[in-house]
């Protein structure tokens, strides 16, 4: 890895732990002074990967984390909930003006452990920055969903967010990957769907402005520390649809492009099939122009072509990652065929950097909704993820980017209704 820039860490970090002996509590503390210590930050080599194959895994389960090496994963994604990080904190950091915040030391250790393992295996790590309402300063008031939009209206909330995000960028953008390394940072989840993931009492206009301000804050904060880091917006597949209270993704992109001409940002897209539980994405009723209702893997080139009109401030093209996509696994042959089809579409598109599959193991919450997306089946009688049996997709996923690719993909052609992959990929171009 080439080192190209010195960065001075600005935080005075105080770690405090409590030792309990019998009924006596003794506070132990030590100070880790990082002031004026020169540290190289990541450069463009942080984005180099052997393939576009990615997987969303449970970063707290080290058996699953270790398995991704066997699977040959090159990209992964982890959620960081800033609200959780600020709950039950023992590690103290402070803002530039001396305001103190306490971070959950154990949760930070869990991130370190996973990110270090990913870095050891040359996996490009993407983080989704989220804000749950357990810490009131960082989200808008009166939200009802699991996560809220970042609170840009309060100076207190903004300062808290900037301080935590600066700390994370300092920690995970180091060239030496001492704590692991994060190359990509996504602001929120599927932000064009405010009623589901980003609850807010704001009007649509104010909501979009607040999100634009959030992207500006995150991009400027992280890139002031690590200029090569990439910042992303997150969109679901409803490109020209306002179903269920959504803001259509195209409208959101156009708004952000207008508001953020001086800000570096990219696109993290979720190109699920038109119907979430129908994995036959090659049959999606979509079109190959910007007026399509949905952008799925069938017409993903619509997105990459559309984004070319919105360069970053230095003239570079905005990058696109497919940070979440999954396929129903009730029919294992069709599920695996859908993945092969999608991977080859992504591989053939030079404007796509990664395709991150959701998920490693079926999750009980999704099982209750009739969704079985995993490489592994899970015990349906237990909460969370408890792998029991590998699906066909596990083996196809492992080999799709190896010398066995053509061999493991052959079964999918008759399922899709094609004689050769070149015909399928050539058919999916923008009209």
Strand-strand pairing, 320-325 and 124-130: unpaired
Q: Copy the structure tokens of residue 349.
A: 């598109």
Residue spans of the domains in the chain: they are 41-427
Listed residue (46, 64, 76) closest to 181, CA to CA: 46
Listed residue (243, 306, 289, 263) closest to 428, CA to CA: 289
* Cβ contacts of 114 within 8 Å, gap of 6 or more: 59, 60, 62, 65, 78, 180
| Cβ-based burial of 95 (10 A; exposed 0-12, middle 13-18, buried ≥19) | middle
Return the CATH fold of 41-427: TIM Barrel (3.20.20)
Q: Copy the structure tokens of residue 356.
A: 């991150």
| Residue-level pLDDT at 105 | 95
| Residue-level pLDDT at 431 | 61
| Cβ-based burial of 54 (10 A; exposed 0-12, middle 13-18, buried ≥19) | buried
Decide: helix, strand or coil at residue 181: coil
| Residue-level pLDDT at 15 | 36
pTM for the full model? 0.91
| Residue-level pLDDT at 429 | 72
pLDDT tens, residue by residue, 120-131: 999 999 999 998
Strand-strand pairing, 352-357 and 53-56: parallel
| Residue-level pLDDT at 195 | 75
Please identify every stretch of the chain with a pLDDT value under 70, giving residue numbers as ranges. Answer: 1-37, 134, 136, 139-146, 196-200, 426-427, 431
The per-residue DSSP string of 1-59 comes to -----EEE---EEEEEEEEEETTEEEEEEEEEE-TT-EEEBP-GGGG--S-SEEEE--T
| Residue-level pLDDT at 197 | 63
Radius of gyration of the chain, Cα coordinates, nearest whole angstrom: 22
* Cβ contacts of 205 within 8 Å, gap of 6 or more: none
């Amino acid at each position: 890895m080439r080192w190209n820039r010195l960065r001075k860490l600005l935080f005075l970090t105080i770690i405090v732990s409590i030792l309990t002996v019998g009924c006596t509590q003794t506070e132990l503390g030590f100070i880790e002074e990082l002031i004026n210590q020169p540290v190289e930050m990541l450069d463009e080599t942080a984005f180099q990967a052997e393939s576009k194959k990615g997987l969303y895994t449970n970063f707290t389960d080290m058996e699953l984390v270790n398995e991704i090496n066997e699977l040959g994963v090159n990209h992964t994604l982890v959620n960081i909930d800033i609200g959780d990080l600020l709950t039950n904190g023992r590690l103290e950091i402070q803002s530039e003006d001396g305001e103190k915040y306490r971070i959950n030391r154990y949760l930070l250790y869990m991130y370190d452990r996973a990110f270090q393992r990913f870095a050891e295996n040359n996996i490009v790590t993407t983080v989704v920055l989220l804000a749950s309402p357990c810490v009131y300063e960082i989200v808008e008031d009166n939200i009802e969903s699991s996560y809220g939009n970042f609170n840009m209206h309060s100076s207190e909330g903004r300062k808290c967010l900037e301080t935590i995000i600066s700390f994370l960028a300092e920690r995970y953008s180091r060239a030496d990957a001492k704590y692991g390394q994060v190359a990509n940072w996504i602001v929120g989840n599927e932000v064009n769907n405010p009623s589901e993931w980003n609850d807010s009492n704001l009007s649509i206009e104010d909501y979009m402005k607040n999100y634009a301000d959030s992207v500006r804050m995150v991009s400027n904060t992280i890139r002031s520390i690590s200029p090569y880091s990439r910042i992303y917006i997150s969109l679901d597949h409803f490109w020209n649809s306002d179903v269920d209270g959504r803001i259509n993704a195209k409208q959101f992109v156009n708004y952000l492009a207008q508001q953020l001409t001086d800000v570096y940002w990219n696109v993290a897209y979720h190109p699920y099939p038109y119907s979430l539980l129908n994995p036959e994405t090659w049959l999606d009723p979509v079109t190959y122009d910007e007026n399509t209702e949905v952008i799925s893997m069938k017409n993903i080139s619509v997105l990459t072509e559309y984004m070319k009109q919105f360069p970053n401030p230095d003239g570079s093209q905005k990058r696109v990652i497919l940070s979440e996509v999954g396929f129903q696994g009730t029919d294992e042959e069709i599920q695996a065929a859908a993945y092969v089809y999608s991977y080859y579409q992504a591989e053939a598109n030079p404007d796509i950097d990664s395709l991150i599959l959701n998920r490693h193991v079926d999750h009980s919450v999704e099982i209750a909704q009739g969704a079985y997306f995993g490489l592994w089946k899970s015990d349906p009688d237990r909460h969370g993820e408890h792998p029991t049996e590998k699906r066909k997709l596990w083996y196809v996923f492992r080999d799709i980017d190896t010398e066995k690719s053509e061999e493991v993909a052959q079964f999918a052609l008759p399922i899709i209704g094609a004689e050769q992959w070149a015909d399928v990929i050539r058919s999916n171009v923008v009209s």
